[in-house]
């Protein structure tokens, strides 16, 4: 097939030696900004801690510590004085503070970047990785799961845009064959992905006419302001068509029509390696028995070419098991072998390999695992409080940044293909004209669609990518309470809030489960929940090996608690809103559909509504025998191998008034302890058995009592690679 790889983009390539506006990078200016870690002068992280009420009263952005009194719903946090926190360059480009998100298409092309060329030479020499320092992206929850919370867990968001991952060598040389798998599995070979930077895939509906494609060809080489939109549309159209073809192929393969295995790009060189042996040829594939597998393990694991071939063969057989399955061997045996080989080949623990494998038809699963080996496109979000996308694009193009609009679905996003300057340290970045943010992170905010003058809660908000996006959509009016239980992480949140000039944000630090006790009555709530990060494995490969079954149990439990508190924090009386968006950067069902389904069961006054997102795969209505509320199909899943974005999940709820009947039912349920009473989290005796046990253990531990051993859970062996 070979099309799948085109969906992917390597890191933007530094253009160190390229001339920018007639000047080589080296000739560019000398000023070096003195900024702290968060890119804000003066170490804003050290600002004094204040209580929420004070923050509201003083109408400035403060960090608020947990355990406070209830704060009533005053709107309209007053703007800070201009320039109070954000240091702009003296020669900053003209910024129209009132420009809203939708405005940039009509703007005149006035993008001069004069005065911005004084970038320090050292910065220009910075290594690739530092292109993305100060990344603002969000991240998966990686705290201490035993305490399910926010104990630090700060692997810096910069990871998002780290240097190139090693790429898979899917062929094999004769020398390789004698080496152990662990040494031959990964190779620094240049992959197809980096040959052609790929667009983020929006949706088939974005496909545009062939004239747009023509314009791409006419324009040929470099992106200019003039050809940017047309090129973008043409690329989107092409990419969307390719994505659709890929999906169709994958589905056909899954249904099983014969030669699907040959379509697995990641494994396509295998026949060459093996000298073209097919099933009927000499050395035909024979599925190892359990004993043979044991022996293989004892001998140090299989060789890479053996694993490659076996994976391909297993996928082929599983694609049409009735016809291709060997006599006397079950489908489950092929699956077992395949999962074990996937774990080995891609470096996952077997537990997680299986969990992720189960989400997809067989051949699509390989696509997913392959996509996790490739970095996602580098994207930035224009901060419309400080800049217009057009001006920002021009300014960055003038600096030697090669970029394009992400796609029709966002009018603030830009995809960076290559850059001669560190994207996380340009004057425009430091002046808050943009946020380094994964495209997937735009989605929950677009779905929530906060309106000017509303009162909004971002329940788990650090480092603030989505908070600052919401503040911009609200045009710096109303108020966004940006909460994060991890106080250390509120430093970067506060820094971003200041850098981007958000004046309607109050930063606070409570456990989300304390809402709505500390404050409620919100028009809209975003719960971008702490999660396992199985959608962002390309950024954080540690997820492959450090997640166990217990982690998922605990996370799912925390997410269920948080979502009920989030629902209860929304006022059904809101004149303009009454919505909750739940999102995660994880693709597992336990953290997504199961949480949504739980919320629907526990809170009969909420219903799912369409996210309003133009693309994304519907959530699972059932999974492995478990039936969910059919409305769960209104939720949206995003995948690296389909959308060329981080794996992501978005659900949107409308919170309605509690009827007398609901309240009566709940109080009756409350009596026997089966369901929780209004506003307080309680467990469902049967369904939450595991959680109850875990909770008891925690409270015993806290009291210093001896904790009985946990009942044995499924082992999560480390991957042998």
524 touches ligand SAM (CB under 6 A):
no
134 touches ligand SAM (CB under 6 A):
no
Q: Count Cβ atoms within 10 A of the Cβ of residue 642 and give its class: 0-12 exposed, 13-18 middle, 19 or more buried.
A: buried
Q: Which residues does the annotation mark as catalytic?
A: 585
Helices 350-357 and 362-371: crossing angle in degrees, nearest 10, is 120
Segment near ligand SAM (CB under 6 A), from 63-71, 287-295, 309-317, 464-472?
464-472
413 touches ligand SAM (CB under 6 A):
no
Return the number of the residue (370 or 528) whose C-beta is nearest ligand SAM: 528
List binders of ligand SAM among 242-261 (CB under 6 A).
none
407 touches ligand SAM (CB under 6 A):
no
Return the number of the residue (401 or 448) whose C-beta is nearest ligand SAM: 448
Return the number of the residue (264 or 480) whose C-beta is nearest ligand SAM: 480
Token pair recorded at residue 113: 């970047």
440 touches ligand SAM (CB under 6 A):
no
Residue 156 CA to chain centroid, in angstroms? Answer: 14
Please state, in angstroms and rounded to a whole number, the distance separating the CA atoms of residues 686 and 683: 9
| Least distance (Å) between residue 181 CB and ligand SAM | 34
Segment near ligand SAM (CB under 6 A), from 44-52, 166-174, 375-383, 478-486?
478-486
| Least distance (Å) between residue 492 CB and ligand SAM | 9
Q: Which of 366, 360, 362, 399 is nearest to 380 (CA)?
A: 399
Beta strands in 383-515 (DSSP E): 402-407, 410-419, 434-436, 455-458, 479-483, 505-508
Q: Which of 359, 410, 407, 354 is nearest to 382 (CA)?
A: 410
Please state, in angstroms and rounded to a whole number, the distance separating the CA atoms of residues 117 and 123: 12
| Least distance (Å) between residue 458 CB and ligand SAM | 6
Please state, in angstroms and rounded to a whole number, the distance separating the CA atoms of residues 632 and 622: 9
Inter-residue contact 453 to 477 (CB < 8 Å): yes
Return the number of the residue (433 or 466) whose C-beta is nearest ligand SAM: 466
Inter-residue contact 546 to 684 (CB < 8 Å): no
Range list of H helices, 280-361: 290-298, 304-319, 321-324, 331-346, 350-357
| Neighbouring-strand partners of residue 378 | 416
Please state, in angstroms and rounded to a whole number, the distance separating the CA atoms of residues 457 and 481: 5
138 touches ligand SAM (CB under 6 A):
yes
Return the number of the residue (240 or 459) whose C-beta is nearest ligand SAM: 459
Q: Which of 282, 371, 454 is nearest to 638 (CA)?
A: 371
Out of 512, 535, 616, 647, which residue is the one contacting ligand SAM (CB under 6 A)? 512
| Least distance (Å) between residue 558 CB and ligand SAM | 6
Return the number of the residue (315 or 436) whose C-beta is nearest ligand SAM: 436
| Least distance (Å) between residue 456 CB and ligand SAM | 13
Q: If you ran DSSP here, which 8-state letter would residue 506 be given? A: E
| Least distance (Å) between residue 38 CB and ligand SAM | 13
Out of 462, 495, 555, 564, which residue is the one contacting ligand SAM (CB under 6 A)? 462
Return the number of the residue (371 or 459) whose C-beta is nearest ligand SAM: 459
Q: Which of 462, 422, 616, 641 is nearest to 537 (CA)?
A: 641
One character per residue 480-509, x = contact with ligand SAM (rule: CB under 6 A): ----xxx--x--------------------
Please state, in angstroms and rounded to a whole number, the distance separating the CA atoms of residues 510 and 111: 42
List binders of ligand SAM among 75-104 (CB under 6 A).
none
Out of 464, 578, 616, 619, which residue is the one contacting ligand SAM (CB under 6 A)? 464
Q: If you ran DSSP here, which 8-state letter would residue 710 be given? A: P
Return the number of the residue (311 or 518) whose C-beta is nearest ligand SAM: 518
Tokens 């830009």, located at residue: 414
In our burial notation (b when 16+ CB lie closer than 10 A, e otherwise), range 359-379 reads bbbbbbbbbbbbbbbbbbbbb
Distance in Å from the first CA to the final CA of the chain: 27
465 touches ligand SAM (CB under 6 A):
yes
Please state, in angstroms and rounded to a whole number, the distance separating the CA atoms of residues 481 and 204: 36
| Least distance (Å) between residue 217 CB and ligand SAM | 38
Backbone angles phi, psi at 608, to 5 degrees: -80, 145
Inter-residue contact 656 to 572 (CB < 8 Å): yes
Return the number of the residue (138 or 590) whose C-beta is nearest ligand SAM: 138
Out of 132, 141, 649, 683, which residue is the one contacting ligand SAM (CB under 6 A)? 141
One character per residue 150-169, x = contact with ligand SAM (rule: CB under 6 A): x-------------------
645 touches ligand SAM (CB under 6 A):
no
List Cβ neighbours of 291 (8 Å cut-off, separation of 6 or more). Answer: none
Out of 62, 316, 466, 636, which residue is the one contacting ligand SAM (CB under 6 A)? 466
Tokens 């360059």, located at residue: 89
What DSSP line would sit under 166-229, residue for residue? PEE--S--HHHHTS-HHHHSEEBPPPHHHHS--PPP--GGG---HHHHHHHHHH-SS--HHHHH
List binders of ligand SAM among 528-567 (CB under 6 A).
528, 530
| Least distance (Å) between residue 364 CB and ligand SAM | 26
Count of C-beta atoms within a 10 Å radius of residue 425: 21
Tokens 């940017």, located at residue: 228
| Least distance (Å) between residue 666 CB and ligand SAM | 24
Please state, in angstroms and rounded to a whole number, the distance separating the CA atoms of residues 150 and 483: 12
463 touches ligand SAM (CB under 6 A):
yes
Please state, in angstroms and rounded to a whole number, the distance separating the CA atoms of residues 578 and 581: 10
Return the number of the residue (62 or 390) whose C-beta is nearest ligand SAM: 62
| Least distance (Å) between residue 150 CB and ligand SAM | 4
List Cβ neighbours of 14 (8 Å cut-off, separation of 6 or more). Answer: 128, 131, 418, 419, 420
460 touches ligand SAM (CB under 6 A):
yes
One character per residue 272-311, x = contact with ligand SAM (rule: CB under 6 A): ----------------------------------------
Return the number of the residue (155 or 513) whose C-beta is nearest ligand SAM: 513
- Write the Ramachandran bin of 476: left for phi over 0, alpha for psi from -120 to 50, otherwise beta: left
Return the number of the residue (59 or 487) whose C-beta is nearest ligand SAM: 487
| Least distance (Å) between residue 515 CB and ligand SAM | 9
Cis peptide before 500 (omega within 30 of 0): no
Out of 130, 232, 394, 441, which residue is the one contacting ligand SAM (CB under 6 A)? 441
Binding-site size, ligand SAM (CB under 6 A): 23
| Least distance (Å) between residue 512 CB and ligand SAM | 3
471 touches ligand SAM (CB under 6 A):
no
Return the number of the residue (144 or 668) whose C-beta is nearest ligand SAM: 144
| Least distance (Å) between residue 469 CB and ligand SAM | 8
Query: Footprint of ligand SAM on this chain (CB under 6 A)?
Result: 138-139, 141, 149-150, 441, 459-466, 484-486, 489, 511-513, 528, 530
């Amino acid at each position: 097939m070979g099309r799948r790889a085109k969906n992917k983009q390597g890191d933007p390539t530094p253009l160190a030696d390229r001339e920018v506006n007639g000047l080589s990078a080296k000739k560019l200016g000398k000023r070096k900004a003195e900024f702290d870690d968060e890119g804000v002068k003066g170490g804003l992280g050290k600002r004094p801690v204040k209580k929420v009420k004070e923050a509201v009263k003083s109408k400035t952005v403060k960090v608020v510590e947990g355990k406070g009194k209830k704060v009533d719903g005053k709107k309209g946090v007053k703007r800070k004085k201009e320039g109070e926190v954000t240091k702009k360059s003296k020669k900053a480009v003209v910024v129209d503070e009132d420009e809203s998100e939708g405005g940039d298409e009509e703007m005149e092309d006035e993008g001069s970047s004069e005065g911005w060329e004084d970038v320090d030479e050292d910065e220009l020499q910075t290594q690739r990785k530092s292109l993305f320092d100060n990344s603002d992206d969000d991240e998966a929850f990686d705290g201490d799961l035993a305490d399910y919370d926010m104990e630090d867990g700060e692997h810096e968001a910069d990871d998002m845009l780290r240097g190139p991952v090693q790429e898979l060598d899917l062929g094999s040389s004769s020398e390789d064959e004698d080496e152990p798998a662990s040494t031959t599995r990964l190779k620094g070979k240049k992959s197809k992905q980096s040959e052609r930077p790929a667009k983020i895939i929006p949706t088939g509906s974005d496909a545009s006419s062939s004239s747009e494609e023509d314009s791409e060809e006419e324009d040929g080489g470099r992106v200019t302001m003039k050809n940017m939109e047309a090129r973008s549309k043409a690329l989107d159209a092409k990419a969307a068509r390719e994505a659709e073809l890929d999906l169709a192929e994958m589905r056909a393969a899954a249904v099983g029509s014969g030669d699907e295995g040959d379509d697995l790009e990641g494994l396509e060189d295998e026949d060459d390696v093996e000298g073209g042996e097919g099933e009927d040829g000499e050395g035909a594939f024979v599925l190892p028995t359990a004993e043979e597998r044991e022996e293989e393990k004892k001998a140090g694991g299989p060789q890479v070419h053996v694993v490659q071939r076996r994976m391909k063969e297993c996928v082929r057989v599983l694609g049409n098991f009735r016809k291709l399955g060997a006599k006397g061997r079950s489908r489950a045996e092929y699956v077992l072998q395949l999962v074990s080989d996937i774990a080995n080949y891609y470096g996952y623990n077997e537990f997680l390999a299986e969990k992720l494998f189960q989400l997809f038809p067989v051949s699509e699963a390989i696509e997913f695992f392959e996509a996790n080996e490739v970095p996602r496109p580098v994207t930035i979000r224009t901060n419309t409080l400080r800049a217009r996308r057009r001006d920002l694009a021009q300014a960055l193009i003038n600096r030697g940044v090669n970029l394009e609009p992400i796609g029709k679905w966002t009018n603030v996003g830009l995809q960076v293909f290559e850059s001669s300057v560190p994207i996380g340290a340009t004057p425009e970045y430091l002046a808050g004209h943009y946020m380094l943010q994964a495209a997937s992170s735009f989605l929950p905010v677009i779905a929530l669609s906060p309106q000017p003058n509303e009162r909004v809660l971002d329940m788990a908000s650090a480092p603030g990518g989505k908070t600052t996006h919401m503040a911009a959509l609200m045009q710096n009016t109303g108020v966004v309470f940006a909460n994060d239980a991890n106080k250390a992480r509120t430093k970067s949140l506060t820094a971003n809030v200041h850098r981007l000039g958000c004046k309607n944000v109050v930063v606070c630090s409570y456990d989300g489960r304390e809402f709505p006790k500390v404050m409620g009555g919100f028009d809209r709530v975003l719960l971008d929940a702490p999660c396992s990060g199985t959608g962002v494995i390309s950024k954080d490969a540690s997820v492959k090996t450090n997640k166990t079954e217990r982690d998922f149990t605990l996370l799912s439990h925390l997410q269920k608690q948080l979502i009920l508190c989030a629902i209860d924090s929304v006022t059904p009386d809101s004149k303009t809103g009454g919505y909750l968006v739940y999102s995660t950067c994880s693709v597992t069902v336990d953290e997504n559909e199961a949480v949504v389904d739980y919320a629907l069961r526990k809170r009969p006054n909420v219903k799912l509504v369409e996210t309003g997102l133009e693309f994304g795969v519907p959530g699972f209505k059932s999974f492995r025998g478990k039936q969910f509320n059919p409305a769960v199909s209104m939720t949206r899943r995003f995948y690296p191998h389909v959308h060329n974005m981080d794996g992501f999940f978005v659900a949107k709820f409308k919170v309605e008034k509690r009827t007398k009947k609901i309240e009566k039912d709940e109080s009756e349920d409350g009596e026997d302890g089966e369901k929780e009473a209004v506003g307080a989290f309680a467990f469902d005796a049967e369904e939450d058995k595991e959680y109850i046990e875990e909770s008891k253990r925690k409270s015993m531990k806290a009291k210093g009592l001896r904790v009985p051993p946990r009942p044995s859970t499924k082992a999560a062996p480390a991957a042998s690679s």
